Amino acid sequence: MPKPLFSVRVRVPASSANLGPGFDCLGIALTLYDEWRVEGWPGDASLRIAVDGADGIPTDGRNLAYQAFRKVFQIHNRPLPALRMDLKSRIPVAGGLGSSSAAIVGGVVAANRALGDPMTRDQLLDIAAEFEGHPDNVAPALFGGFCAATYGEGKVHCVSWQSPALFRDLVAVVAIPYFELKTEKARAVLPKNVSRLDAVFNTGRAALLVAALLSKRYDLLGDAMGDRLHEPYRQKLIPGFSSAIAAAESAGAYGAALSGAGPTLLALAPRSKTTAVGEAMVAAFRDATVPARSEILELDLRGARVKGS
Ligand code: HSE
């Protein structure tokens, strides 16, 4: 029976970026997972990708996980073997829950393990963030927990918090509309310049949000999740946005915001209110004739996990 050169399985969490004011720098990992199995076989660099659970994910050289995998091999001057990649997709595609970041992180982590783990997670973060263009989804997808990540000189600076105590009574309720919104489209509507008032509004809230989460001042999240840099421009792409945010807060969420570039919305809620918050957001979307579903997710505290050698 022939054996592969390597066989690696990687499970990568979904992520929710921005959390309101932390545009391109704050994110959390969530307990919804994509799982990749990557096998290398002797032979030339042929590629076979199979996807279970999603439509529209490229199964050729355009696949992001493959490109990220190949990049790590290139950095180490190692030729690619024949690759078989299998994806169990659970994270909605172009939904605002970090599906492309999960693919990139799956690719770099699998390649690193296939090569015997020559790179640290911080080094993998630099590669993954370069692919994605911003670090706020790839950081939580790699590390888990709550992450603050931004570009320093030529590398990503990231601090992540994974303490279970931090999130003990904080549950993520996401409302996922049944339509896709590509990040490029949601970034294209943003203005090139913003006023100082709006910049000050956001820096104050981003700082307050980090402090509120770390000190468990959840009562501050409603204000701290406010944003003027992206949500005001993106809401025209998401019918029902404002009423669903308001509905989440009326139903007992501490705060709510657009998840990444949308169209999913994220509410952070006490455990006792999660069902009501999910139902309220879905009902508000329905009133705006947008079919949606809700999911109650915990914060993932482990990030990308790998099995195999
Ligand atoms: N920070 C990014 C954005 C996340 O809002 O465009 C989406 O990938």
Q: What is the pLDDT of residues 291-301, one digit of tens each?
A: 999 999 999 99
Contact 109, 131 (CB under 8 A): no
Q: If you ran DSSP here, which 8-state letter would residue 56 be given?
A: S
pTM of the model: 0.96
Which residues are CB-contacts of 92 (< 8 A; sequence separation ≥ 6)?
54, 99, 176, 180, 264
Q: If you ran DSSP here, which 8-state letter would residue 199 be given?
A: H
CA distance linking residue 43 with residue 39, whole number of Å:
12
The helix/strand/coil state of 81 is coil
Q: If you ran DSSP here, which 8-state letter would residue 107 be given?
A: H
Q: Among 35, 183, 231, 274, which one carries the catalytic annotation?
A: 183
Beta strand segments in the chain, E = 6-18, 22-41, 47-52, 82-88, 146-151, 156-161, 171-177, 255-258, 265-269, 292-297, 305-308
194-219 per-residue burial string, b: 16 or more CB within 10 A, e: under 16: eeeeeeebbeebbebbbebbeeeebe
For the chain, which residues make up each domain, given as ranges?
6-163, 164-297
Q: Among 35, 120, 130, 132, which one carries the catalytic annotation?
A: 132
pLDDT at position 107 over 70: yes
Q: Write down the pLDDT at residue 2.
A: 78
Task: Classify strands 255-258 and 156-161 as parallel, antiparallel or unpaired.
Answer: unpaired
Q: Write down the pLDDT at residue 167.
A: 86
How far does the centroid of ligand 1 lie from the alpha carbon of residue 230, in Å? 9
* Chain centre distance of CA 52: 20
Q: What is the pLDDT of residues 120-170, one digit of tens each?
A: 999 999 999 999 999 999 999 999 999 999 998 889 999 999 999 888 889
Q: If you ran DSSP here, which 8-state letter would residue 44 be given?
A: S
Classify domain 6-163 at the CATH topology level: Ribosomal Protein S5; domain 2 (3.30.230)
Q: Write down the pLDDT at residue 45.
A: 83
pLDDT at position 307 over 90: no
Q: Write down the pLDDT at residue 168.
A: 85
Q: What is the mean pLDDT of residues 90-97?
A: 94
Q: What is the pLDDT of residues 181-220, one digit of tens each?
A: 999 999 999 999 999 999 999 999 999 999 999 999 999 9
How far does the centroid of ligand 1 lie from the alpha carbon of residue 277, in Å? 24
Q: Write down the pLDDT at residue 293.
A: 97
pLDDT at position 271 over 80: yes
Q: Please indicate whether residue 62 or residue 309 has the higher confidence score (pLDDT).
A: 62
Please indicate whether residue 185, judged by its CB atom, sits closer than 6 Å to ligand 1: no
Q: What is the CATH number of domain 164-297?
A: 3.30.70.890
149, 174, 212: which is closest to 292 by C-alpha?
A: 174
Task: Classify strands 146-151 and 305-308 as parallel, antiparallel or unpaired.
Answer: unpaired
Report the atom number in ligand 1 closest to the C-alpha of 136.
1
CA distance linking residue 178 with residue 93, whole number of Å:
10
- Say whether 183 is catalytic: yes
The helix/strand/coil state of 137 is coil
| Residues found in the chain | 309
- Say whether 275 is catalytic: no
Q: Which two three-digit tokens encode residue 204?
A: 């104050």
Q: Which residue out of 15, 23, 26, 131 has the highest number of ligand 1 atoms within 8 Å of its CB and is therefore the one to mutate?
A: 23
- Residue with the smallest CA separation from ligand 1 atom 1 is 24
Q: Write down the pLDDT at residue 56.
A: 87
Please indicate whether residue 131, judged by its CB atom, sits closer than 6 Å to ligand 1: no
In this prediction, what percent of the chain has a pLDDT beyond 90?
Answer: 93
Report the atom number in ligand 1 closest to the C-alpha of 187.
6
pLDDT at position 254 over 60: yes
Q: Write down the pLDDT at residue 172.
A: 98
Please indicate whether residue 293, judged by its CB atom, sits closer than 6 Å to ligand 1: no
Q: What is the mean pLDDT of the chain?
A: 96
Q: Which residue has the tokens 């770099």?
A: 108
Dihedral of the CA atoms 213, 21, 257, 129 (nearest 10)?
Answer: -90
Q: What is the pLDDT of residues 215-234, one digit of tens each?
A: 999 999 999 999 999 999 99
How far does the centroid of ligand 1 lie from the alpha carbon of residue 138, in Å? 11
Please indicate whether residue 24, judged by its CB atom, sits closer than 6 Å to ligand 1: yes
Please indicate whether residue 260, judged by its CB atom, sits closer than 6 Å to ligand 1: yes
CA distance linking residue 190 with residue 187, whole number of Å:
6
Query: What is the band of 309 on the pLDDT scale with cuts at 50, 70, 90?
Result: low
Q: What is the pLDDT of residues 11-59, one digit of tens each?
A: 999 999 999 999 999 999 999 999 999 999 998 889 999 999 988 899 9
Contact 32, 13 (CB under 8 A): yes
